[in-house]
Structure 1
Amino acid sequence: MPGQFTLVLHSHLPWLANHGRWPVGEEWLYQSWAASYLPVFAMLRRLADDGLRDQFSLGITPVLAAQLDDPHCGASMYEWLADWQLRATEAAVDADPDRQALGQREYRAAADALAGFETHWRHGGSPQIRALAAAGVVEILGGPLAHPFAPLLNPRLRDFSLREGLADAHARWGYDPTGIWAPECAFAPGMETEYAAAGVGHFMVDGPTLHGDTALGRPVGDTDVVAFGRDLVVSYRVWSPKSGYPGHAAYRDFHTYDHATGLKPARVTGRTVASEDKKPYEPERVDAVIDRHVDDFVAQVRRRLIAESERQGRPALVVAAFDTELFGHWWHEGPVWLERVLRRLPEAGVQVGTLASAKRDGFVGEPVDLPASSWGSGKDWRVWNGPQVQHLVQLNAEVTDTALDTVDKLVGPGSVRSLVADQIVREALLTVSSDWPFMVSKDTAAAYAVDRAHKHAHATREICDAALSGRDARAATLAGNWACADNLFRGLDARRLRGGLR
């Protein structure tokens, strides 16, 4: 087969620790950890043990990495897994045979997850990530702190966020990512020079940003920074709301719960079937369906590689990109499908590699100038600056100005580190997270998102107000109290904000 296929997985959750549990909050982290991160990392260990290398590019945002290493999150995750097993026990002793089968199945799954967590995750996520990077089974992609929508961010804070995010990766993993997943695949002309200055060699954009011509990476502007585009023809084969694999009738339904235990008892049954009418999930029906979808995907990749290679007269690159949380959390059978795909593609003659290996092996075309873009609705910025989130756009601008002005007054040339200034920057970065406007625009826990944005904005403002009015002890107390909840990025040093873009 000509060319190379590259899978890119983007792993991200906003900072959830100490900000609610249910229905939105830490529960989101523990569900994703149990259903996605545990099985995906276990799969990668198996692939590494079999000597496989350069299987895909794995983006892990600094804010997610911080939660996977956080002692509170680790202890709470262990409790969540134990609670999962208790809830399964409750279902297993029910008189209803379907709930008995559900409980027994979930009890075994919880036991396996507990064993895997105790064995591999008890010291946090960083040892896992370091080991996978060292084995060469994946390329690890970094990113900016707290996942901001970079094009709308003050350039000074944008530069700081990116550089500190890369430094955070080095501190946690002893590894310097050469590629990043730009939050929301968002881009504004000129950002390529900032990437080059920070040492970023490649990043992801969505297919329409390259006008659908994603068969090669493209240097951006006058830099050597390469933009790789997501191939929508292949990617939408998996993750399409109308025809994607996870919607098959036999797969476990994400949205239907057994409300007594919180377990998921039903299969999709049909796309228009109401939750109360869905049939019980039957794992024995699934294996053959997974195999059919693996074969279909492999065939699609082959067809796309051949067509794109013929079109451009040279071996093509095909990049499929997804959220990691799709595999397991949203699509229960996803991790099994993913491992079978990765093992079957080479058997079908398809070369598998990473973004880094694609760049190294010459899957790069002529330079381009990229437009303002994202991978959101409309492939523009409307999700993050549309009319429904203008109040958050204004909030972000006000908080950023207040934070930068205050930090400039607190730290100067030769000054000692200020924990007050550090916490101001930390809260400002959490305020401008891209997750909050996304959740509002998509009406997914919008009230939680607005509350979180305003909570971090309030923290920023009250620390700034105390600091600027000379109430140093009060400012230190406020900063310390907020740090109890938002204790991420402890290496962040506000003094590095001085001087603007370098």
Structure 2
Amino acid sequence: MTSEGTFCLVLHSHLPLLAHHGRWPVGEEWLYQSWAASYLPVVATLRELAAEGRGELATLGITPVLAAQLDDPHCLRGVHDWLGGWSLRARSAADRLPDLAAHEHRVAAAATAEFEAHWCHGASPVLRGLRDSGAVELLGGPAAHPFQPLLTPRVRAFSLRAGLDDHALRLGSRPAGIWAPECGYAPGMETGYAAAGVSRFLVDGPALRGDTALARPVGDSGVVCVGRDLDVTYRVWSPRKGYPGSAEYRDFHTWDHDSGLKPARVTGRRVPSHDKKPYDPELADRAVRRDAADFVDTVVARLRDLRATHGRPALTVAAFDTELFGHWWHEGPAWLGEVLRRLPEAGVSVRTLRGAIDDGLVGEPVTLPECSWGSGKDWRVWAGPQVAEFVAGNATVQDDLLSAVDAVVPGSGPALRRDARDPLADLLVDQALHALSSDWAFMVSKDSAAEYARSRFATHAGRVAELAGLLRDGRRRRAARRTGHWADARVPTFGGIDARDLAHP
């Protein structure tokens, strides 16, 4: 069968680093819900497809900050307890909601079995297995998910190196591709990517004026950007519509508050929660097959149009947050499985980003503008007037960080690695990276747990200011006593954090 073209599925997994306390709507509940409802079933789906002999199924971006949590012993114990609680909640609803309780208990049991069979030692062995089987390509990224265009070049380069080093420590090799946080880009960043060994990264479609049919070298850097095809991606989920909003699927926002289960189907966009119809798994299964068929038809039509326009086989990239599949959209993992089986049957090659580039689906060089995948496709979410406090605060954090590191860490050169690591400086760097996370500005811009975001930023930025001042003043004993009280941050989060790598040349 002649290939209609190439399809790349890119999934980006990210949650901010969560302190070891708290419940919904903040704290570890975020992590455990996404782990149970998305990461476990999505990985199980990919493993099942790989066992059928299918390769190059998806390109997975796992941010270092999430990878740290998925390997953390505290979080591993916590999610296992959470899975047990999920089963108990399902049983508690058996008298009032017997059909829903039975369905929910089956899903919880499957998630628990998946965790106990594959995840007890963390995510790293799971991801290594998928990668080594040829099922997926893994993407890396900067250490704590910063909006890179707003970082000084020195901090930006360090953050990227630290994230890539952490990926290599956990997964055995440094990734050649990254999903840049928020797809944020400023002209010239490709030079830093090349210096760090990054050869490909993702941008949003408008950065390429919608011409996403081929990967494109950025200037003369040799680094290739790949554009998200919004015409295809938005078929699944857009700011206004998408398959998860169909009437048959489970409604995310309607709760049975006694059990914490979700008893209703979407029913209709304007139907109030108390009028929504009961969730019916069989009805949802039929909708999964219908929407998978529609998506495959959409991909085939798109690739045929692109071939006609460009006179050569083309590429379409659909890229999503992993948490859409299972967490936000209960039926999402089943839909993924249907799509990845049906696309080859329709004559579409399914490839990773690396595979598509190796196949020669690369066009002429391009000059990229300032861009992101946020509202307006510019920087307004992370640098607009509503988050001016973070822009100013981030500048202060970077000034404090660099001045302290330059004061206490030897400069670069042959002598650098002969000097012992400075654990206080390492901890300062770690706290600064967390303060610089893009999540805090995003939460405020989108009014999603805004006060939590402000509190977290204030905590990290305050620690940086205090510790930097103590280190500059040579008050190391006082600094050690103060950091000893940071119960959630006594050691750096990332295995690759080494303040000597940030020392001024």
Is TM more than 0.5 here?
yes
Q: Distance in 1 between matches of 2:240 and 2:153?
A: 39
- Confirm whether residue 7 of structure 1 aligns to residue 27 of structure 2: no
CA pair 485-79 structure 1, distance change in 2 beyond 3 A: farther
* Contact kept in structure 2, 1:373 and 1:381, CA below 8 Å: yes
* Per-residue CA distance 1:249-301 (angstroms, 9 max, x = gap): 01000111111111111110100111122111111111111111011000000
CA contact (8 A) 1:214 1:231 kept: yes
2:476 to 460, 464, 472: 472
The alpha-carbon deviation at position 19 of structure 1 amounts to 5.0
Aligned mates of 1:496, 1:164 — CA distance in 2: 9
Displacement of 1:177 in angstroms is 1.0
Q: Structure 2 residue aligned with 1:296, among 294, 297, 316?
A: 294
Point out the more displaced range, 266-275 or 474-483: 474-483
Q: Name the amino acid aligned to 2:502.
A: L
In structure 2, what is the Cα distance between the partners aligned to 1:467 and 1:389? 29
Alignment partner of 1:485: what SS? coil
After TM superposition, give the deviation of residue 484 of structure 1 in Å.
3.6
Aligned partners of 2:241, 2:454: CA distance in 1, in Å? 32
Letter in 2 for 1:401: D
Deviant stretches of 4+, over 6 Å: none
Mapped pair 1:56 → 2:61:
no
Give yes or no for contact 2:6–2:348 (8 Å, CA) kept in 1.
Answer: yes
Q: CA deviation at 1:115?
A: 1.5
CA contact (8 A) 1:383 1:438 kept: yes
Change in Cα spacing, 1:367 to 1:486, as seen in structure 2 (3 Å) is: farther
**Counterpart amino acid of residue 31 in structure 1:** Q
Amino acid at match of 2:295: F
TM (normalized to structure 1)?
0.97
Q: Which of 418, 422, 435 is 2:422 aligned to? A: 418
SS state of the match for residue 486, structure 2? helix
Give 1:51 shift.
1.7
Q: Which amino acid is the alignment partner of residue 457 of structure 2?
A: A
Q: What is the SS of the residue equivalent to 2:18?
A: coil
Q: Deviations over 1:168-227 (max 9, x none)?
A: 111101022110000000100000000011000100000000000000000001111000
CA deviation map 1:228-250 (0-9, x unaligned): 00001000000024330000001
Q: Give the counterpart of 1:66 among 65, 68, 73.
A: 68
Matched residue, 1:361: 359
Deviations 1:382-440 (A, max 9, x none): 00000100001111110111011111111114432111101111011000101110110
Counterpart of 2:504? 499
Aligned pairs, number: 496
Equivalent residues of 2:382, 2:445 under 8 A apart: yes
Alignment match, 1:460: 464
Alpha carbons 1:419, 1:476 under 8 Å: kept = no
SS at the partner of 2:138? strand
**Partners of 1:227 and 1:19 in 2: CA distance:** 39
Q: Give the C-alpha shift of residue 458 in structure 1.
A: 1.1
With structure 2 as the length reference, what TM-score do the two structures score? 0.96
Q: Which amino acid aligns with 1:492?
A: I
Q: Secondary structure at the match of 1:255?
A: coil
RMSD: 1.2
Q: Could you tell me which of 87, 90, 93 is aligned with 1:88?
A: 90
Corresponding residue SS for 2:225: strand
Distance 1:362 1:44 in 2: 25
Find the aligned partners of 1:211 and 1:52 in 2 and give their Cα distance.
33
Which string of whole-angstrom CA distances, capped at 9 and with x for unpartnered residues, describes residues 348-384 of structure 1? 1111101101111110000011000000000000000
- The structural deviation recorded for 1:327 is 0.3
Q: Is the 8 A contact 1:424 1:479 kept in 2?
A: no
Say whether 1:490 aligns with 2:498: no
Distance 1:67 1:17 in 2: 10
- Taking the TM superposition and a 5 Å limit, the aligned residue runs for 1:266-415 are 266-413=264-411, 414=416, 415=419
Measure how far apart 1:155 and its partner are. 1.1
Per-residue CA distance 1:82-119 (angstroms, 9 max, x = gap): 11111111111x3x3xx222222222221221121111
Asked if the contact 1:17/1:73 (under 8 Å) is kept, the reply is no
Q: Which residue of 1 aligns with 2:160?
A: 162
Whole-Å Cα distance in 1 between the matches of residues 294 and 483 of structure 2?
A: 54
Kept after mapping to 2: 8 A contact 1:459/1:482: no
Letter in 1 for 2:197: G
* Secondary structure of 1:205's aligned partner: strand
- 1:138 alignment partner in structure 2: 136
Would you say the 8 A contact 2:406–2:504 is kept in 1?
no
The residue type equivalent to 1:201 in the other structure is S
Query: What secondary structure does 2:320 align onto?
Result: strand
SS of the equivalent of 1:20 reads coil
Deviation at 1:3, TM superposition (A): 2.2
For 1:428, which of 426, 429, 432 is the aligned residue?
432
Preserved contact between residue 346 and residue 352 of structure 1 (Cα < 8 Å): yes
Specify every segment of 5 or more residues in structure 1 that has no aligned partner in the other structure, as ranges.
none
* Structure 2 equivalent of residue 23 of structure 1: 25
Q: 1:231 & 1:269 partners in 2: Cα distance?
A: 29
Q: Taking structure 1 as reference, are residues 20 and 357 closer, same or farther at Cα in structure 2, changes over 3 Å only? A: same
Asked if the contact 2:19–2:488 (Cα under 8 Å) also holds between the matched residues in 1, the reply is no
> Equivalents in 2 of 1:166, 1:426: separation in Å?
15
